[in-house]
Amino acid sequence: DRWLVGGASNAGGAIISTLFSSCDIHRYTRLVNPHQLTDLDYYPLSSRGERFPIQDPLMEPRLEPRPSSDARFFQGILEGLARIEQRGYRLLAELGAPYPEQVLTVGGGAVNTGWAVIREQLLGVPVTRAKQQEAAFGTALLARSSGPVNIEVDL
């Protein structure tokens, strides 16, 4: 009841790198205003099809309307990703999982403090950059906590 190792959504930070250069990402990150959310209702998929929290292999990305401000478009995508995350946690809670009390985050988006504040507002819990940023670290902790494992390997 403590770990969600990777989300199953087809939405994620990859959409940002397909739409914006790294220079633009840094520029627009500084312009994100997490205390003034946009009214944009995006579902930022990298390609057609979604697995979770909506199961729809034909679902199309929703990135319209595109505002004239690229910074606002960028923030709208961050908000869309946070809403998908919110919907996923709510669905898991409806199915009996505990709603998270905090979210520890890793990856490229973990350094975006504006996005963290947006996520905190929508999720209703603190979103903190994990001290250990190696993605495999959490998986290793899970494996370690599961008890003795005997694996026979035929080399």
Instruction: Using alpha carbons, list the distances in angstroms from residue 99 to 10, 27, 69, 72, 102.
Output: 21, 34, 35, 30, 9
The predicted pLDDT at position 49 comes to 94
Dihedral angle computed from the Cα positions of residues 8, 103, 4 and 17, in that order, rounded to the nearest 10 degrees: 30
Backbone angles phi, psi at 52, to 5 degrees: -160, 135
**Over 50: is that where the pLDDT of 44 sits?**
yes
The predicted pLDDT at position 5 comes to 52
Domains and CATH numbers, the chain: 14-145 (3.30.420.40)
pLDDT > 90: what percent of the chain?
Answer: 68
Per the listing, tokens 């599961």 go with 146
Higher-pLDDT residue of 70 and 1 is 70
For residue 9, give both structure tokens.
């959504």
For residue 78, give both structure tokens.
């961050």
DSSP state, residue 108: G
Instruction: Using alpha carbons, list the distances in angstroms from residue 74 to 1, 39, 116.
Output: 33, 13, 14
Give the whole-angstrom CA distance, residue 22 versus residue 20: 6
The predicted pLDDT at position 109 comes to 84
Instruction: Give pLDDT tens digits for 101-153.
Output: 999 888 888 889 999 999 999 999 999 998 887 767 777 777 777 766 555 54
Whole-structure pTM value:
0.86
The predicted pLDDT at position 153 comes to 44
